[in-house]
């Protein structure tokens, strides 16, 4: 049973998230030969104060 975690910044619409999970499910089902029901996907949003790049919080970047 594949488990996929997508970590991203907020701001995606429900329609975008639905399309993403549909396509991820299709890809795993095809690649692994599993049923779509066997694929679990977690979407995890991180706001600008909960992720960093290059030693700076994203909220501090210009």
- Residues forming the active site: 2
Q: Please work out, in degrees rounded to the nearest 5, the angle formed at the alpha carbon of residue 10 by the alpha carbons of 50 and 45.
A: 55
CB 7, CB 49: distance < 8 Å: no
Q: Is the dihedral of CA 3, 33, 19, 9 positive or negative?
A: positive
């Amino acid at each position: 049973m594949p488990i996929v975690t997508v970590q991203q910044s907020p701001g995606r619409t429900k329609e975008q998230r639905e399309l993403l999970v549909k396509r991820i499910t299709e890809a795993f089902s095809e690649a692994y030969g599993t049923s779509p029901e066997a694929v679990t996907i977690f979407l995890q949003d991180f706001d600008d104060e909960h992720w960093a790049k290059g030693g700076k919080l994203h909220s501090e970047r210009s």
